[in-house]
Amino acid sequence: MNDKSHSDHWSLIIKGHTSLFDVKFKDLWHYRDLLFLFVKRDFISFYKQTVLGPLWFFIQPLFTTLVFTFVFGNLANISTDGLPQQLFYLSGITAWNYFADCLTKTSTVFRDNVSIFGKVYFPRLIMPLSIVVSNLVRFVVQLILLFIMMAYFAFEGADFHMTYAIFFFPLLVVLMALLGLGLGLIITAMTTKYRDLSFLVTFGVQLLMYGTTVIYPLSSAPEKYKAIIALNPMTGIIEAFRFAFLGRGEFTPWSIGYSIIVTVIVLFFGIIIFNKTEKNFVDTI
């Protein structure tokens, strides 16, 4: 008995059933270079053989802003809390896009990478994490567009100002990323078995945008819906984002605290479900 325990210096034990909480963070750290190589791959493959290259990062939010300004601002006359309409929409779109991209891209991670996952082991979480980081690059580029727009409207003398909440900006980015990641992880794990969910995601995210304060401020939402809209954890984040950059929006310890709690819970379950699924999904997908 004694020599057995003595000689058992196994570096790896592969078993069928492992604990739910057996997430291999050490492995994840070892593969960190891979994460950045995936980011680089995404970036290069995105603009290779395009004429405009990284400019495409600007074009999408810019045109969305123009359309929103026309439809919701000019036709529907929805309040923008006294902010210039373009600025109001662009700030909402920039933040929302980051969350939505993280969510939709991670929600197909098993299906998109089945050929790699089926042939080689690396911590599967690397892939969704690389998506979050790739999108962060995109988000930063789009943020520059927002700054340019802010500079332009400041020059025009529009009424807005940055607030102390700007110090919470890194926290807001982390929250958007992790909330999108957490939801995406749950969905991708479920779609390996129930393919229907992937159809839900594409329009679900779009619908959810209207349940978030992207095209209207929380302050002008009808009283009876206000509570429901505030239940959406993205609402607190986008309101805080707008408050930080433009000085309008509801930013309270409660609203942001709520978003933090929801994000932590979603991420926790996301990682557990993802971790549980990654072991065998190759057999079912």
Partner 1 sequence: MSDIVIKVEDLSKAYQIGQIGTGTISRDLERFWTTKVMGNPDPFLKIGEANDRSVKGESDIVWSLRDVNFEINQGDAIGIIGKNGAGKSTLLKLLSRVTSPTTGEIRIKGRIASLLEVGTGFHPELSGRENIFLNGAILGMRKSEISRKLDEIIDFSGVERYVDTPVKRYSSGMYVRLAFAVAAHLESEILIVDEVLAVGDAEFQKKCLGKMGDISKGEGRTVLFVSHNMAAVQNLCNRGLLIENGSMVHQGDINGTITRYLQGNSFLDDLSQVRGRKGNGKIKFQSVNVYGNQLQESVISGQQLHIDLKLLNLENITSDRIRLDVRVEDDFGQRLSWVSSSLVDIDDAIVPQQIRIFYPRNNFNNGIYFATLFLTVDGEVADWIDNAFQIIVESGDFFNNGRLVPNRQSKILMDFNMTFSS
Asked if 38 interacts with partner 1 (CB under 8 A), we say yes
Give the CB-side neighbour count of residue 229, counting CA atoms within 13 A: 23
Q: Least distance in Å: CB of 160 to partner 1?
A: 41
Asked if 9 interacts with partner 1 (CB under 8 A), we say yes
Asked if 279 interacts with partner 1 (CB under 8 A), we say yes
Asked if 3 interacts with partner 1 (CB under 8 A), we say yes
Binding track, positions 47-66, relative to partner 1; x by CB under 8 A: -xx-----------------
> With CB under 8 A as the contact rule, which of the stretches 165-173, 187-195, 212-220, 252-260 interacts with partner 1?
187-195
d(CA 210, CA 207): 5
d(CA 52, CA 199): 31
Q: Which two tokens stand for residue 77?
A: 């006359």
| 8 Å CB contact between 181 and 261 | no
3 state SS of 123: coil
Nearest in space to 274 (alpha carbons), one of 123, 74, 90, 62: 123
Q: What letter does residue 219 receive in the DSSP assignment?
A: G
Considering only 1, 14, 75, 227, the residue that binds partner 1 (CB under 8 A) is: 14
Asked if 265 interacts with partner 1 (CB under 8 A), we say no
For partner 1, the closer of residues 44 and 227 by Cβ is: 44
Residue recorded with tokens 């359309």: 67
Segments of 35-120 assigned E as strands: none
Considering only 1, 2, 15, 253, the residue that binds partner 1 (CB under 8 A) is: 15
Q: How many residues bind partner 1, per CB under 8 A?
A: 39
d(CA 184, CA 109): 9
| 8 Å CB contact between 61 and 97 | yes
> With CB under 8 A as the contact rule, which of the stretches 5-13, 51-59, 144-152, 179-187 interacts with partner 1?
5-13
Q: Least distance in Å: CB of 18 to partner 1?
A: 8
| 8 Å CB contact between 133 and 230 | no
Q: Which of residues 102-121 bind partner 1 (CB under 8 A)?
A: 115-121
Asked if 44 interacts with partner 1 (CB under 8 A), we say yes
Q: Which two tokens stand for residue 224?
A: 């009876």
Residue recorded with tokens 């950059």: 245
For partner 1, the closer of residues 34 and 171 by Cβ is: 34
**Binding-site ranges for partner 1 (CB under 8 A):** 3, 7-16, 30-31, 33-34, 37-38, 40-41, 44-45, 48-49, 115-122, 193-195, 279-280, 282-284
